[in-house]
A and B are shown apart, each in its own frame.
Chain A
């Protein structure tokens, strides 16, 4: 048996190339926890920008949250926003450069708590931008506190006995809210915890960017993701938990467009 095992060099030499990292992801070591969905969401976003040939005209905006350092990984021009203000930055850019491609990459607290006004109003104005929204139901960077999208009864460090909707409010379906606004062209909810879903999510992101370039209004892609560290689970457990619990409240699929 042992003589049949190929060395890595032999695999590269003899094997067929099945995957190549997009040049629009840098070689910087990702700051995300092993098992987190951010890495995949980053990669498919940047693959889409490369495939659409938008590299030289794209400006991305990183939020405050786990993806605060997204600009270290995304190999395009990037701006770092204050917490929640990414859609306002994107508006400022797009208004002075209507032909550039502008996207924000935001987490739950950024987009659906402190930045709710900026999110709703950018979408309501129909800014020709693309918003990528990672919904993992928790505040990961600050250590697992309750988020606006934390599920009822779900534990976090600020809802240690479970989210009590009577005192802590209900999970905010902000994607449903922006889908109601005439300014949005395409609103969809995707996930990246299974290979088939990754392919679908990438297709959705591609559509979102294409619509932006056609000046159709705001395109909005929610990605329901895991937070194995914040949820205090192994990566596999967190993906199973996501599949079993998150998708009932946040069903996948296109909401609009």
Chain B
């Protein structure tokens, strides 16, 4: 049965994880996402579904606990905020190399360094462009509502297992902390150990039963020819993900003369900017990437044929704007606007920036 609740984004992540039939959550507290583990600990999901929740000694340990459980075919996840995500990067690179499915939630705060606990979108580079060592990509989903914080848990696990690749929910302190109405889907059963043995028999390390050869989970290949071949295999997988999994939505783009590109809470703010602009007679549209990797480059490129200029709006000094520029490939002017370091721009500030940097610029 569907249930409607008023919740923080972080709490929605936790409740959705229980309902998605997640087997294990490993985490380390950090503001502004500690509600995820607090909610899980209070909820005692081992009583509801048998889900394991463990507070690790560090983000490093947490992501490596995820590695261990994911390598056994279990649905495992962790969550953190920017400085904690930096710490997880080592483990994420290993998980991507070993091709393990798992989900990581990043509720971004302002940096660099210890930075601030206020919202930011300045983790785009470290999440979308890698951050850990080696050639790999993470599937990155960017929720803009508390509802999507919940919905993307199931979607992220679905994609992670479909491609045996880590998936990240790249959120921010606004969505993590704000309360909204959220509708939850019914409880999904966790897979049984027998189902896991059947489904993931070819790779999961659950003990080499029934005469099968042993399974080995590793990201090591000392022979460079084989490591290159493994990298080619990964690249082919990333190509397939790019072909099949790009998600985005457009808002008032049909007749737009100018385009805003924004994700997450910036996209929410930009919706209001579109409205304010149109009240002034400026035809503005919004494209919201839902997947930040793979990126909706083609859709942006097509809109570049229609509009006179594009403003990439993000709470950073300009990170995603690089992908917008690559997509547009010089067709029209592309500029960046955003408050950062923990500050959140207002719809009017975005409109001012559009008028000065793009329309009048």
User: Are B57 and A118 touching (Cβ within 8 A)?
Assistant: yes
Q: Taking CB as reference atom, which chain B residue is nearest A68?
A: B220
Q: A22 an interface residue at 8 Å Cβ cutoff?
A: no
13 residue pairs of the A-B complex, CB under 8 angstroms, read A71-B216, A77-B215, A78-B217, A79-B205, A79-B216, A80-B216, A89-B68, A91-B54, A92-B24, A96-B24, A97-B206, A118-B57, A118-B64
Q: Which stretch in A55-63, A167-175, A206-214 binds the other chain? A: A55-63
**Interface centre among B70, B94, B214, by most A CB within 10 Å?**
B214
> Would you give the shortest CB distance from A92 to chain B, in whole angstroms?
3
Chain B residues positioned under 8 Å from A81 (CB to CB):
64, 67, 94
Chain B residues positioned under 8 Å from A92 (CB to CB):
24, 26, 64-72, 76
Interface positions, chain B 182-210, Cβ under 8 Å from A, are: 193, 205-210
Query: How many residues from B make CB contacts under 8 Å with A?
Result: 40
Q: Taking CB as reference atom, which chain A residue is nearest B66?
A: A92
Q: Complex formed: what's the CA distance from A118 to B87 in Å? A: 14
Q: A93 an interface residue at 8 Å Cβ cutoff?
A: yes
Point out residues on B near A: beta carbons under 8 Å: 23-24, 26, 52, 54, 56-58, 60-62, 64-72, 74, 76, 90-91, 94, 98, 193, 205-210, 214-220
User: Are A96 and B64 touching (Cβ within 8 A)?
Assistant: no
Per-position binary interface string of chain A over residues 100-130, scored 1 when its CB falls under 8 Å from any chain B CB and 0 otherwise: 1100000000000000011001000000000
Q: Complex formed: what's the CA distance from A57 to B207 in Å? A: 4
User: Are B218 and A71 touching (Cβ within 8 A)?
Assistant: yes
Size range of the interface on A?
20 to 34
Q: Complex formed: what's the CA distance from A118 to B61 in Å? A: 7
Q: Complex formed: what's the CA distance from A194 to B195 in Å? A: 47
Q: Complex formed: what's the CA distance from A50 to B218 in Å? A: 23
Q: Complex formed: what's the CA distance from A95 to B71 in Å? A: 13
Q: Complex formed: what's the CA distance from A68 to B218 in Å? A: 10
Q: A90 an interface residue at 8 Å Cβ cutoff?
A: yes
Given that A59-B205, A92-B24, A96-B52 are contacting pairs, would A117 and B61 also be in contact in the complex, using a CB cutoff of 8 Å? Answer: yes
Q: A165 an interface residue at 8 Å Cβ cutoff?
A: no
User: Are A59 and B65 touching (Cβ within 8 A)?
Assistant: no
Q: Taking CB as reference atom, which chain B residue is nearest A93?
A: B68
Q: A229 an interface residue at 8 Å Cβ cutoff?
A: no
User: Are A93 and B52 touching (Cβ within 8 A)?
Assistant: no
Given that A59-B207, A71-B216, A96-B74 are contacting pairs, would A82 and B90 also be in contact in the complex, using a CB cutoff of 8 Å? Answer: yes
User: Are B54 and A77 touching (Cβ within 8 A)?
Assistant: no
Chain A residues positioned under 8 Å from B69 (CB to CB):
92-93, 95-96
